[in-house]
Each structure stands twice: as C-alpha cells, then as structure tokens.
C-alpha cells in the first residue's frame, strides 16, 4: 500500500480561502473576488489600486457589469470601499471574504 504524500505546502492558498468563504454566491461575484485576491496591484492592506474600468477589462467585462457586481458584493459584505480619490473608488476584500471573523471591540462609556 502506497504511503500518504506529505503536505507539500504549509501556506494557505488565498484563492481557495476566498472560494470557500463565498460558496453561496453566484459565479460572477466569486470571479470578482478571485480577481481581487490575485491582483498584482494589491497593497499591503488588500486594497486594489486600480479603477473598476481597468479591472473590468482584465475580466473582459463591461465596466457597468463589473461595478454592479461590486455593489452586490459590498451589500453582501465581501467588498468594502477603502479609499476615494475624486470620483474614483478603490475597494478591498473584507474579513468575511478572506475567511476571518471581524474584530469587534466593545465601546466603553467615558466618565
């Protein structure tokens, strides 16, 4: 009987994490999430420094379809607006999208 192969990598594949976290979403929404997690212009905080028009072009989509899908993902809690420069908005994945629980800090009353 052959031996089991050792685990090849101890690192977690971010694409698999996003796909696992988004199991119930439609394919277009899942594709946008994978596009965000694999995009080369992601900063260290996960914000993708690219316009929606360019991101849509990377998928071969019309910008309106991409923007609508992003709005749906914002509503579902998978994307969030991170920065705005003029009328250009930059988005990033939320804790929900990357399979983490959001950190909730209880507020204290002053005085």
Q: Give the closest residue to 67 by CA, choosing from 82, 78, 83, 51.
A: 51
Rounded (10°) CA dihedral 34, 96, 89, 42: -50
Beta carbons of 90 and 82 less than 8 angstroms apart:
yes
Question: Residue 56 has what pLDDT?
Answer: 95
Beta carbons of 29 and 76 less than 8 angstroms apart:
yes
Beta carbons of 47 and 82 less than 8 angstroms apart:
yes
Measure the CA–CA gap between 111 and 99, rounded to whole angstroms.
37
Which domains does the chain show, CATH number per domain? 27-93 (1.10.10.10)
Report residue 34 as tokens.
């994978």
pTM over 0.75: yes
Q: What is the pLDDT of residues 44-73, one digit of tens each?
A: 777 898 999 999 999 999 999 999 999 999
Question: Residue 67 has what pLDDT?
Answer: 94
């Amino acid at each position: 009987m052959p031996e089991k192969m050792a685990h090849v990598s101890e690192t977690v594949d971010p694409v698999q994490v996003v796909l696992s976290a988004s199991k119930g979403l439609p394919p277009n929404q899942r594709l946008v999430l994978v596009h965000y997690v694999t995009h080369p212009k992601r900063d260290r905080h996960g914000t993708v420094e690219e316009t929606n028009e360019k991101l849509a072009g990377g998928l071969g989509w019309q910008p309106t379809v991409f923007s609508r899908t992003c709005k749906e993902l914002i509503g579902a809690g998978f994307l969030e607006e991170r920065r705005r420069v003029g009328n250009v908005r930059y988005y990033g994945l939320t804790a929900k999208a990357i399979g983490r629980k959001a950190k909730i800090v209880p507020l204290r009353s002053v005085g």
